[in-house]
Structure 1
Amino acid sequence: MSQQPPPIHQEAEKVHVSGETTKSGETPDVNENNNTTDQAAERAAGKQALKDLLAPVRGKLMCARILAALSGILAIAPYIALVQLGDTLLRAALAGTPVDAERARFIVLVLLSTFMLRLFLYFLALGITHFADLRLGDHIRSQMISRLSRAPLSWFTATNAGRVRKALQDDIAQVHTLIAHQPVEATAAVVTPVALATYAFVVDWRLGLLSIATLPLFALANVWMMRGMGEKTVEMDSKLAVVSSTMIEFVSGISVVKAFGAVGRSHAAYQRAADEFSRFYLAWVTPMLRGSALSDATVSIPILLLVNLAGGATMVHAGWVEPADVLATSLISLVLPAAIQTIGENSWAYQLTGAAALRIMKTLDIPIIARNEGSGTVEGDDSKNQKVIPRDNTVEYRDVSFAYGDGPLAVQNVSVTLPAGTVTALIGPSGSGKSTLATLLARFADPTSGSILLGGVDLRDLDPSTLYQRVAFVLQEPQLLRVSLRDNIALGKPEASEEEIRRAAEHAQILDFIDALPQGMDTIYGEESNLSGGQAQRIAIARALLIDAPVLILDEATAFADPESQADIQEALSTLVAGRTVLVIAHRPESVIGVDQIVVMTQGRITAVGSHEELLDEPHYSRLWRSAQLRITEPESGKGSQAGSKLNTVEEQR
């Protein structure tokens, strides 16, 4: 019945993806004093986060506590009725007279009424806290999803995916206990034993002392076991995060690890983290288990009955108390330890919830891509609902620089114009900043300095809905959701009609394949059908066609497609690029000969801009072109060069 060791099996399940990814085999190596200070600071931050998080429902929780307190006070009513009923029956038996049936019925009626009222108040309090929990959970999830939807892509790149899942799912579930149960249970756990102990002393102070005789030993044992609980809880959560991250690292890369015969080395990092956690946990809970056994013995039913009934019998024999009084206080003594245990369990839940609340508040405080109140062409008469709209589809990069977090600049002082209705190709070696520059146009992040204009309007001045009506993208690896193929195609335009969706699929050269599936458009991707890379890419192209955005970003859309699909994808792309402002990320110069302009990037900077013929004498481009010619002459790269050159066909058809 005493404070139990931390439920590690539950916590491990909750944090199995919560840790930030660490280098293989690394574990925190910090000064012990600094670690203690950090833990104390984190506990204080957790308490403040919990206070801020519960602010919207604080009034409801207080109301529930009051009802729980009234319910706790009413807990003494059955014992009062028991004493009164016992006294009535005993007096009648000793006097040899009939039992006062009217009084007995009244006592029983009072007992039942107060018992039912107590249950009603208790469940009413729980109902209030559960509704408060539902409202707060919905409020938190809505805020979190809204925040995440406006977070820059760079934040997701730098953040462990488990952190997001944990905040959205596990941490909100953890807060559920504190809101839906803790206010009622903790209040009742405090008020009920106080009320019962008080009544035991009212019955007889000597019986009152007997009812709490073993509690000091029980309480002292629990206080001893609870010492350092807050710091240990934070440390446990931290060490579990390390175990989690090394486990994810091992499992995620298992195919590569096995292929290169590095299973032992890769597994060692996880094993070291698990061993360290095991040593910490055993050192923490082993003394607690011994203390738990001793404290449980002091409040075990045999000990409590022995103390109270033996002592009570002595007092009855001495004529100090009545048998009914002894029975009532003995029953009270059995209830008190359980109430104290509830307080301990709620204290443990409070420690865990503080850490969960802090993670939730941090997620709610992530950076977002804000919208400026800029100027430009305005649509609509209502000043409150005015939207700035671009005048055309020209894209301008003006002295744009960008860095991921505190790292070096990935793009440096880039200035280039993409005229409306033209195709611009970005080429350069790996890591030159091509994809970064393209994703800035899709506003996955904002430039560290400089600006990007669409039709003369800074992207930061555009409403997101306006931006994504005008900018679409088809990436190397199409991201499809585990929903129907229809919903995947209509992701950017949910209100699209069936006819529009089918037309987009037809132009993307994928409609015949979809119609041949047993469920057709209702096929769930990833469950009822697994698509090849080329088929998934054509679904992504159909999605872009349906949006009908005038600005298009293509990231080597045929790079990972199978040879059989490349021709279909190229035909779909020829439809997609027609009449649009297109930015193509290319890895092979031979694939972009026919574009309107080629932008050569090296180490985050633009080194040349022009057509293929104009750039043949430019050092960086000519080096890339010579490398491409060497690939073309190699027999094994023939298929690749044919597939790459097909963008010229797209240009001719455009």
Structure 2
Amino acid sequence: MKKNNHVFIRILKYIRSLWGTLAVVVIFSLLGSYFNVILPGYTKGIVEETQKGIGGSFDVQAAGRCIFLAAGTLCLSLMCTLIQSQIAPILSQRTGQKMRREVNEKANRIPLNYFDTTPEGETLSTMTNDIDILASAFSGTLPTLITSGATLIGCLIMMFMADITLAVITVVTTIAGLMISAKVLAKGRPYFKKNQDLIAGINAHVNEDIKGHLIIKSFNAEKEVIESFEKINSDLFEQMWKSQLVSSLTIPLGLLTNNLSYIAVCIAGAVLVMTGHTGMGTVVAFIQYAQIFASPISQSIQSAGTIQPALAAGERIFRMLDQPEMEDCGTTEVDVDTVRGEVDFDHVKFGYDPEHIIVHDFSCHVRPGQKVAIVGPTGAGKSTLINLLTRFYEVNGGDIRIDGTSIYDMSRKDLHDMISMVLQETWTFGGSIRDNIIYSKQGVTDERLQEVIDSCGLRDMISMSSDGLDTVLDEEAGISAGQKQLITIARAMIDDAPILILDEATSSVDTRTERLISDAVDKLMEGRTGFVIAHRLSTIRNADMILVLKDGDIIENGTHEELMAKGGFYSDLYMSQFDNA
């Protein structure tokens, strides 16, 4: 319960920033509630004037005045409710918009290990599905809560002013019905939270199935994948069924609360009229009061079926928003245009878990303009070093310097402006080929763009595309994995940073394209520092320095010729590739 209250309070903080819109909703909610609770008073007047008419002294003007006031009050109440219902969705959707913005910005500040340890589908579900549930829920429940609170207070005042006995009976019977409803609904609270976790799980499963469908088919793993999906789907069905069962009880429980008060007032009122303790007009007014008093409680009970999954969604959203962010304490200003590209790894230690260090004591000096190849078996720490250089992960010990300045003394923005990357996993977005190559680089001339296109061997692909450089990269574009890799390499060339990182950059291209890329990269690296990670050792024979890693440590270093002459681990690794071929 405390956790739910905490989530609810945090949601209200988002709404508080929209105080102008909130004020309008509150004002019209209060006005609507006011007109709603004074209506029974005019009904009482109509009944009393009618009773007088039965006795022979009917006052047409008085009765007409009560009818006119009742009709006018009803119209004003409906008008306020209509205005409120039109403005409230704006409030909730603005809140959802703000929350989406914060979650998206947060995703760019969270350390990489969050995404490494959190299923992609779960993150996607949090950033889309959970926020939609939260915004939709509060679109309906926020006005209800405000109106219900105002109506309850106003109705209590009017009832106790009219007749204390009937007021006490109404309140007691309503509270009794409410306690029964609350006890039943409390049983369903855990189901709603479990629902959101299972929805995230099924999204992650579907996401993995779509991405890995070729592997699934090639290994004939369809049966296992289907069985795994059915397990999650069955669990989701069971939880959804239970939560929907609880939700389906909200309307009957609301009617129970309403009818208890209604019946109690009718019975007590009849007794009080027969004994002369009250009039028929008061009883009729109290029948309306009982309905008005019970209605917001009934609506609140019904809203519980919406609020509970929204709170569960909110808990997941705030869990992501509360993740620690990447530190950026650097204050040293760096002129990226004057960076020479000298890199020093000074006794670097690192472990994804501080208790299990995988890079033990890594030291290396790279001169400006050197092409450094990093090789080693899988799990040796090759990609880890690159992630440390770019500060995607923080070192556990030691330091990394560029041109003598610690990367921890400079801002992440300056650091990333110094480095261009081409990763093994190609990434293109749903824009044109031109947009994908230029990306975030400003002031790129058409001459420079054409030069890069020729250097990367993209001319033929672009000329064959329907709209040339303006061809949109979607499913209909039909470009290959190798062509996507060429685009990402062209993007790095356009970026023209003083340090270039190629992480298995030629793994998705054929031999001819690989040769073309290698020549273009050699030209690009002139006067720039380059780090190349490659399993195919034939691609890094012309590297100025080769670092051979094993278990997070440098076991050999030198040029290709020097390492082959030693006949050590690198030589064995190099020859084994040709033996396998």
TM-score category (smaller protein): 0.7 to 0.9
> 1:243 and 1:541, CA in 2 relative to 1: closer, same or farther beyond 3 A?
closer
- Evaluate the alpha carbon distance shift between residue 75 and residue 98 of structure 1 in structure 2; reply closer, same or farther with a 3 A threshold: closer
Change (3 A) 1:172 1:69: same
- What CA distance in whole angstroms lies between the structure 2 residues aligned with 1:143 and 1:194? 37
Cα distance in structure 2, aligned partners of 1:399 and 1:330 = 82
State the one-letter code of the partner of 1:619. G
| Shift in Å, 1:392 | 1.7
Could you say which residue in structure 1 is the equivalent of 2:9? 51
Cα offset, 1:140, TM superposition: 3.5
How far apart in 2 are the matches of 1:265 and 1:161? 21
Task: Quickly say closer, same or farther: Cα 1:98–1:405, change in 2 above 3 A.
Answer: same
Which of 564, 571, 578 matches 1:622? 571
SS of 2:408's partner is helix
Contact preservation (8 Å) 1:492, 1:543: no
| Contact map agreement 1:558 1:566 (CA 8 A) in 2 | yes
Alignment of 1:75 with 2:24, yes or no, is no
Is contact 2:44-2:285 (8 Å) kept? yes
SS at match of 2:461: helix
Q: What does 1:40-439 correspond to in 2, within 5 Å?
A: 43-55=1-13, 57-58=15-16, 60=19, 68-88=29-49, 91-92=52-53, 95=56, 99-100=60-61, 103=62, 106-108=65-67, 110-111=69-70, 113-115=72-74, 117-119=76-78, 122=81, 133=92, 136-176=95-135, 180-193=139-152, 195-196=154-155, 199=158, 215=174, 218-238=177-197, 255-275=214-234, 295=253, 298=256, 327-375=284-332, 378=333, 391-406=339-354, 408-439=356-387
Please give the TM-score of this superposition, normalised by the length of structure 2.
Answer: 0.83
User: Match for 2:129: what amino acid?
Assistant: D
The residue type equivalent to 2:570 in the other structure is: Y
Structure-2 change in CA distance of 1:594 and 1:288 (3 Å): closer
Q: Distance in 1 between matches of 2:201 and 2:122?
A: 13
Which residue does the alignment assign to 1:482?
Answer: 430
Give the match for residue 599 of structure 1.
Answer: 547
Residue 354 of structure 1, CA deviation: 3.7
Q: Distance in 1 between matches of 2:233 and 2:277?
A: 61
Matched to 1:623, the amino acid is D
Name whichever of 183-192 and 421-430 sits farther off. 183-192
Rounded Cα–Cα distance in structure 1 between residues aligned with 2:100 and 2:198: 27
Separation of aligned partners in 2, 1:84 and 1:348: 39
**In structure 2, how many angstroms separate the alpha carbons of the residues matched to 1:159 and 1:133?**
28
Within the alignment, does 1:538 sit opposite 2:486 as a pair? Answer: yes
The Cα shift of 1:421 comes to: 1.4
Q: Pick which of 510-519 and 423-432 moved more.
A: 510-519
Q: Displacement, 1:585? A: 0.7
Paired with 1:548 and 1:288, the residues of 2 have a C-alpha distance of 58
Q: State the one-letter code of the partner of 1:595.
A: A
The offset of 1:478, in angstroms, is: 1.5
Gaps of 5+ in 2: none
Distance 2:527 2:127 in 1: 42
Verify the 8 A CA contact 2:482 2:510 in the aligned structure 1. Answer: yes
TM-score when normalising by structure 1: 0.75
* Matched position secondary structure for 1:578: coil
Match in the other structure for 1:523:
471
1:448-483 alpha-carbon deviations (Å, 9 max, x no partner): 222222222222222333223321011222211122
Q: CA deviation at 1:149?
A: 1.6
Hey, what's the Cα distance between the residues in 2 that align with 1:409 and 1:166?
Answer: 33
Q: Larger deviation: 155-164 or 223-232? A: 223-232
| Offset at residue 133 of structure 1 (A) | 4.2
Distance 1:260 1:539 in 2: 31
Mark the CA change 1:222 to 1:603 in structure 2 (over 3 Å): closer, same or farther.
same
Change (3 A) 1:45 1:599: same
Q: What's the counterpart of residue 498 of structure 2? A: 550
In the alignment, residue 324 of structure 2 is paired with which amino acid? P
* Alpha-carbon spacing, 1:559–1:260, altered in 2? closer, same or farther (3 Å): closer
Deviations 1:259-278 (A, max 9, x none): 44444444444444555565
SS of residue paired to 1:429: coil
Contact between 2:37 and 2:292, CA under 8 Å: does it hold in 1?
Answer: no
CA 294–181 in structure 1, closer or farther in 2 if over 3 Å, else same = closer
For these two proteins, the number of residue pairs brought into alignment is: 577
C-alpha distance in structure 2 between counterparts of 1:389 and 1:45, whole Å: 50
CA shift for structure 1 position 367: 3.0
Q: Describe the SS at the equivalent of 1:95.
A: coil
Name 2:557's counterpart in structure 1: 609
Summarize the Cα distance change of 1:108–1:484 in structure 2 as closer, same or farther, 3 Å threshold.
farther
Indicate the SS of the match to 1:425.
strand
Distance in 2 between residues matched to 1:611 and 1:426, nearest whole Å = 12
What SS does the aligned partner of 1:461 have? Answer: coil
Q: Among the aligned pairs, what percent are the same residue?
A: 24
Residues 142 and 501 of structure 1: CA distance in aligned 2, closer, same or farther (over 3 Å)? farther
Q: Give distance in 2, aligned partners of 1:598 and 1:305.
A: 87
Q: Deviations over 1:235-263 (max 9, x none)?
A: 55556656666666666655544544444
SS in 2 for 1:608: strand
Deviations 1:461-520 (A, max 9, x none): 223332233210112222111222222112231554555444433332214422432233
Distance in 1 (alpha carbons) for counterparts of 2:86 and 2:254: 33
Amino acid at match of 2:37: I
1:347-390 per-position Cα deviation (integer Å, ceiling 9, x unaligned): 45444444333333332232333223354xx56xxxxxxx6886
Is the contact made by 1:390 and 1:454 (CA closer than 8 Å) also made in structure 2?
Answer: no
Return the alpha-carbon distance in structure 1 between the equivalents of residues 6 and 432 of structure 2.
Answer: 43
Moved more, 119-128 or 410-419: 119-128
Query: What SS does the aligned partner of 2:368 have?
Result: coil
The 10-residue stretch of structure 1 (410-419 or 83-92) with the greater mean CA deviation from structure 2: 83-92
CA contact (8 A) 2:191 2:239 kept: no
Aligned-partner SS, 1:554: strand
Higher mean alpha-carbon deviation, 344-353 vs 535-544, is at 344-353
Q: CA RMSD in A?
A: 4.0
| CA 264–134 in structure 1, closer or farther in 2 if over 3 Å, else same | closer
**Alignment gaps of 5+ in structure 1:** 1-42, 380-386, 635-654
Partner of 1:460: 408
Q: 1:306 to 1:492 in 2, by over 3 A?
A: closer
**For 2:251 and 2:10, how far apart are their aligned partners in 1?**
38
Structure 1 CA distance for aligned equivalents of residues 218 and 446 of structure 2? 46
Q: Aligned equivalents of 1:479 and 1:314: distance in 2?
A: 79
Q: Distance in 2 between matches of 1:243 and 1:534?
A: 31
1:506 equivalent in structure 2: 454
1:46–1:78: structure 2 CA closer, same or farther, 3 Å change rule?
closer
